[in-house]
Amino acid sequence: MRAVLQMMPRRISDLITQLPSHIWNEMEEIRLRIGRQVEVAAKGQPHFLSYIFTKEDAEQFIAKLANHSFYTLDEELKKGYVTIDGGHRIGLAGKVILENSHVKAIRHLASFNIRIAREKIGIAEKYLPFLYQENWKNTMIIGAPQTGKTTLLRDIARMISTGSSHQKLAAKKVGIVDERSEIAGCVHGIPQLQFGPRIDVLDACPKAEGMMMLIRSMSPDVLVVDEIGREEDQLAIMEAVNAGIALMMTTHGHSFEEVRKRPLLQRIIDSQVFERFIELSRIDGPGTIAAIKNIKGQPIRNPELFHHV
C-alpha cells in the first residue's frame, strides 16, 4: 500500500491510514472523483471518507502519475489505466479523444479507480489434488467481477512455477499473457508480485497474439491468461492444446451453465479442452469456491478423493 499512499494528496492518505482494520485489511478499491467524496470499497461495500476530491487534488494526482509512468502519460491513457509499483492498477475516466474510430487518449481526467493488488500466497495449494493428476489439468476459473479470479489464478501460476519438493512436484515453465497488467502487475516489464523462478510475462499484450508469441518463443509448459472470451482466443487456445501446453484461464460469468450459453465459450467447452472448472462467488467474501466441476460440468463433491501427488 505504500506506493498507493504516496500517490495520494496527504489529507486523503492520512484518512485512509486511519480506517478501521476490518476495512483496511479488506480494501479492494479507492475511487477518486472530482467534486465527490473519496470512496473506499472493502468486501464489495462502499465506505465514504469525509473529504471531497478537488480539481487541484486531481492535478496533483495526475502529475504523480506522469512522473511514475515509464512511458509518457499519453501512451498509458490509450489503455485507460496505469500500473504502479506493487502491481496496483489505476483506472482512468474522462473525455475520450478518438482518432480513426480508435481511442487516442483520455483528456480532462475526472475519475480514478485504484484497484489494490493483494497477494494471497498459498490459497491455491489446497486445490492441488484437483488441478494436478500426473500433469496439470486445463482449468477455467469462472466468476463475476471482484470474486477473486485473478488472485486465485496468480497463486496457481506461482505454485506451478515454484513446484514442491514435499509434494514431489517439479517446477514448470509458466508463460503469462497479462493484457491488462493485472496478473503480474508489471512495471517496466518486471513483475511486482511474487512468483516462482520459472515465470515469463508478456505485459500489456493482447491475449491471443501473446499466447502465440509465447508458444513460439518461450516454450512454456503452462499458459496463464485472464478473461478469455473472444474469437481469436479460441484459435490460440487450440494451438496451445495441440502443442501440449496446459492452460490456466479465467472468464467472466456466474456459473458453468451461464458461461456455456455464450456461443464462443460453448464451442470451447464442448470441445472438452478444459478438464476442470472452478466457480467463484462472494458469498463468504472474494475467493469463495461455489463449485468445482469436471470436464462435463458435473460437480465434484469431494475433491479430496483425487489422487494426491
Q: What is the pLDDT of residues 61-98, one digit of tens each?
A: 988 887 755 455 666 677 788 888 878 889 999 998 88
- CA dist., res. 116 & res. 241, Å (int): 33
| Alpha carbon distances (Å) from 45 to 27, 39, 86, 280 | 10, 10, 23, 18
Contact between 223 and 211 (Cβ < 8 Å): yes
pLDDT digits (tens, 9 = 90+) for 202-230: 998 999 999 999 999 999 999 999 999 88
Distances in Å between the alpha carbon of 65 and those of 3, 10, 45, 70, 277? 11, 15, 27, 10, 38
Note the residue count of the chain. 309
Helix-helix angle 231-242:263-270, to 10 degrees: 10
Whether 49 has a pLDDT exceeding 60, the answer reads: yes
CATH node for 2-115: 3.30.450
Average pLDDT over every residue of 131-145 = 94
Query: Angle 237-240-246 (CA atoms, 0-180°, nearest 5)?
Result: 100
SS (H, E, C) the chain: CHHHHHHCCHHHHHHHHCCCHHHHCCEEEEEEECCCEEEEEECCEEEEEEEECCHHHHHHHHHHHHHHCCCCHHHHHCCCEEECHHHCEEEEEEEEEEECCEEEEEEEEEEEEEECCCCCCCCCHHHHHHHECCCECCEEEEECCCCCHHHHHHHHHHHHHHCECCCCECCCCEEEEECCCCCCCCECCECCCCCCCCEEEEECCCHHHHHHHHHHHCCCCEEEECCCCCHHHHHHHHHHHHCCCEEEEEEECCCHHHHHCCHHHHHHHHCCCCCEEEEEECECECCEEEEEECCCCCECCCHHHCCCC
State the pLDDT at residue 307: 39
Is the confidence at residue 155, as pLDDT, over 50? yes
pLDDT at residue 83, rounded to an integer = 81
Q: Alpha-carbon distance 209 to 261, whole Å? A: 25
Domain 125-305 class in CATH: alpha beta
Q: What is the pLDDT at residue 93?
A: 93
Residue 73 confidence (pLDDT): 64
- Pinpoint the residues of the chain covered by CATH 3.30.450: 2-115
pLDDT exceeds 70 at position 141:
yes
Q: Is the whole model's pTM more than 0.75, yes or no?
A: yes
What are the tens digits of pLDDT across the range 236-249?
Answer: 999 999 999 999 99
Looking up cell 470474486 gives: 147
Chain center to CA of 186: 12
Residue-wise pLDDT for 157-178, tens only, equals 999 999 987 778 999 999 999 9
> What percent of the chain is modeled with pLDDT above 90?
61
pLDDT at residue 308, rounded to an integer: 35
Give residue 250's pLDDT.
Answer: 96
Q: Residue 241: its pLDDT value, please?
A: 93
Band (pLDDT 50/70/90 cuts) for residue 258 is very high
Q: What is the mean pLDDT of the chain?
A: 89
- Between 49-58, 156-165, 185-194, the lowest mean confidence (pLDDT) is in 185-194
Supply the pLDDT for residue 67. Answer: 73
pLDDT at 14: 95
Domain with CATH 3.40.50.300 in the chain: 125-305
